[in-house]
Structure 1
Amino acid sequence: MKKNVLIPTSMYDVHAIAVEYALKKYSDKVNVIRWFCCDYPSIQVQTFNADSLSTNFSISAKNQSFNLSDIDLVWYRRPGSIVVDLDKNHPDYEQICRENNLFHRNIWELIPKDARWANHYIDSKKADCKLKQLSVALLSGLKIPKTISSNDPEKIREFIESNSKKTIYKTFSGIHDWEEERKIFRQHATTITLKDLPEDEMLKLSSGIFQEYIEKEYELRILYLNGRFICAKIEADKDGEGKHDWRAAVKTGLKIHPYTLPNEVCIMLEKFMKSLNLVTGSIDMIKSIDGEYIFLEVNESGQFIWLELENSDIKVLGPFCKFIVEMSSNGLHTINEEEISANDIFGRNDFESILKEDLKEHIQVI
């Protein structure tokens, strides 16, 4: 019998599309359900039934219908928010949103107890805390940058003054876009000095993340799959846009190569991931010019297929699909990961058509 894999997803999530596409083509052991949470309640029906013998939660839409009781694995990918198709000025709008959200959140607690998760939604939310990650990393033996996060202007200025070189500033929300003077700007990790700080009254309004600047030889992006590490070395132009954060250099090009982590680093990362109860995630590290491996953060649902698209020697889609098949069947089934190529799949016309069909069939959150 096929195992049912539920993938909560949102529009433009090419990772969910690619995994569904690959598993449909290369495995007859799983049935993938790509589920758009944002379709509820506008074009999706959710129903809970209970009697003296049992309970049931069903979800149905135009081209999809399933019961939560049939789910074997949840890949907690990127569940979107519900979209209420009602004027926000309607007197009942806020109450309807509250009721729908309270109803909708029951779904995760009604997944069968014997179902497996990658990752469990509670563990994902707990892990999505940058300061907790740094604390757990340190306890796991990993090296981390000296860090302060505060809305105390005096402590922030003292921290920056104490750094012998530079200070890195990051936001809690990660990459941030905003519009100014009819231009779109994007905030990445960036270096700052005391001169870059706003007035104290502004610093008091919000806490950011300030870290010592560590001269790096290169950056590392690591896909973790329940004890397995697939690592890529990322080199950006040291004088270009990506000198402090490779994400800023994506449009200008990066040098990406397969990389083998030292065993002692893998042991510490394994301890770190297990401490957070994560079975998968995308880990960011740097190797300093002093030869030290420095932990930066983990994104429990981070992007990874782009590594293979940039360098076909870094196989990630096949291993991830194998991980999903084996997890959903508790190790009873597997697939040949070598058959799966991200570049081949992304180059197919029918793959492109799936995204176009999504735009027609599902609610787009703006």
Structure 2
Amino acid sequence: MTVLILTCEQDVTADMVVAQLHRRGAPLVRFDPGDLPGEGALSAEYVRGEFRGYLSTGGRVVSMDGLRSIWVRRPGEPAAHAPEPSPWLSAETGQALYGMLDCTAARWMNERGAAARARLKPWQLRTAHHSGFPVPATVVTTYPRVAQQFADQYRHVVVKAVSGRPPGDPPMALPTTLVPSDADFSEVAAGPTLLQRYIAKSADIRLTAVGEELFAARKTAEPGQVDGRFGDTGHTWKPVEPPARVRRAVARYMELARLAYGAFDFAEDAEGTWWFLECNQGGQFGFIELETEQPIADAVAGWLAAPGETG
């Protein structure tokens, strides 16, 4: 049985998992949807109630009934590398590829429908509440008056993107930013704005969940630091044991979200409380493994290579 990895060519994190799969002797095919059609090819037949499908790349062919698991890592846009790419060709190719893969009994990390919903920040916040996480007070609004009232109530608030990094080349960075006390909220009407109560943190926490395995790492924050993704604090990530309450909440969140993999970000305050910020269903873990030596890639490889239940 074969592991299918959907990702782009330059993906160091995927390279780490591929190495562990090779160590385990697990057959795998690495495929970039951007190479279809062209370097990649597919064929699916639906005849007399039977389904047969095949995917090939680099001279290798994998049968759909021979797939053990599918890891949706960082796949390119379907048909992105075609001689004459177009939105129509991308739509056609995506329908053909993912429609065929959805017909298999393979296990997904993560299943596409669940992953699409899990990307939605407002849905994440509500699910985090239901899971038992402490979540900073948050508002998403296009009403300037509501934004002003929220800022007046909580005094220290930050503004962050609802959807994450916007598309573009070169990519644009939108760090979480502390809102000044004299801010003018009139421009909130121009687009949905996410405001959140500022957590004065002592550390950033990244917790990587791979199935039932949890790998937590802590990096000390500088006084007044807002967004730990930007700027060098001089501190490094170190392994940390997640509290029992967090373990239970993570398990509940993963169940509600129907995820096999999730990268959770927390802000730890002076009292040691881990405040939920977000869960990235496709978040990076390579930088954490390199600094902490936690065997996250091996855990991912183990989940992908395990017999497990399919479907």
TM-score when scaled to structure 2? 0.89
Q: Distance in 2 between matches of 1:290 and 1:62?
A: 54
Secondary structure at the counterpart of residue 188 of structure 1: coil
In structure 1, the residue matched to 2:60 is: 64
Structure 1 position 139 matched with structure 2 position 119: no
Report the counterpart of residue 110 of structure 1 in structure 2.
Answer: 103
* Partner of residue 19, structure 1: 17
Q: 1:197 to 1:317 in 2, by over 3 A?
A: farther
Residues 167 and 11 of structure 1, relative CA distance in 2, 3 Å threshold: farther
Opposite residue 169 of structure 1, the aligned amino acid is V
Letter in 1 for 2:129: L
* Partner deviation per Cα, 1:190-242 (whole Å, 9 max, x = no partner): 111254556x3x42221121100011111110011222211101123336xxx
How far apart are residue 155 of structure 1 and its match? 0.8
How far the C-alpha of 1:266 sits from its partner, in A, is 0.8
Aligned residue runs from structure 1 range 1-366, under 5 A: 3-24=1-22, 26-28=23-25, 30-52=26-48, 54-83=50-79, 85=82, 93-112=86-105, 115-164=106-155, 166-176=156-166, 186-193=173-180, 195-197=182-184, 200=186, 202-238=187-223, 243-249=225-231, 253-312=234-293, 314-326=294-306, 329-330=307-308
Q: 1:71 to 1:185 in 2, by over 3 A?
A: closer
Cα distance change of structure 1 residues 237 and 185 upon mapping to structure 2, 3 Å threshold: farther
- C-alpha RMSD of matched pairs (Å): 2.5
* Partner SS, residue 229 of structure 2: helix
Superposition deviation, residue 252 in structure 1: 5.9
How much does 1:248 deviate? 0.7
Between 1:279-288 and 1:59-68, the stretch displaced more is 59-68
C-alpha distance in 1 between matches for 2:245 and 2:58? 51
Task: Summarize the Cα distance change of 1:258–1:97 in structure 2 as closer, same or farther, 3 Å threshold.
Answer: closer
Aligned residues: 308
CA distance in 1, matches of 2:251, 2:218: 19
Is the 2:121–2:163 Cα contact (8 Å) retained in structure 1? no
Alpha-carbon distance, 1:319 to partner: 2.8
Q: What secondary structure, in the 3-state scheme, does the structure 1 residue paired with 2:30 have?
A: strand
Q: Distance in 1 between matches of 2:49 and 2:260?
A: 34
The change in CA–CA distance for 1:95 and 1:276 in structure 2 (over 3 A counts) is: closer
Verify the 8 A CA contact 1:178 1:186 in the aligned structure 2. Answer: no
Conserved 8 A contact 1:236-1:253? no
**Which residue identity lines up with residue 330 of structure 1 in the other structure?**
G
TM-score normalized with structure 1 length: 0.77
Contact 2:267/2:276 (8 A) holds in 1? yes
| CA distance in structure 1 between the aligned counterparts of 2:77 and 2:290, rounded to whole angstroms | 29
Cα distance in 2, alignment partners of residues 177 and 248 from structure 1: 19
Question: SS in structure 2 opposite 1:231?
Answer: strand
Q: Indicate conservation of the 8 Å contact 2:161/2:193, yes or no.
A: yes
Give the distance between the partners of 1:304 and 1:94, measured in 2 at CA: 31
Aligned partners of 2:202 and 2:223 also within 8 Å: no
- Stretch of structure 1 that moved more, 130-139 or 314-323: 314-323
1:144 Cα deviation (Å)?
0.1
Amino acid at match of 2:295: K
Q: Rate the CA distance shift 1:234–1:212 in 2: closer, same or farther, 3 A.
A: same
AA aligned opposite 2:159: Y
- Unaligned ranges ≥5, structure 2: none
Question: Alpha-carbon deviations, 1:119-172, whole Å to 9, x = none?
Answer: 2111111211111111111112211000000111111121112223x2111112
SS of alignment partner, residue 237 of structure 2: strand
Q: 1:350 corresponds to which residue?
A: none
Deviations 1:79-114 (A, max 9, x none): 2211253557xxxx55444433433331332222xx
CA spacing shift, 1:21–1:49, aligned 2, 3 Å: same
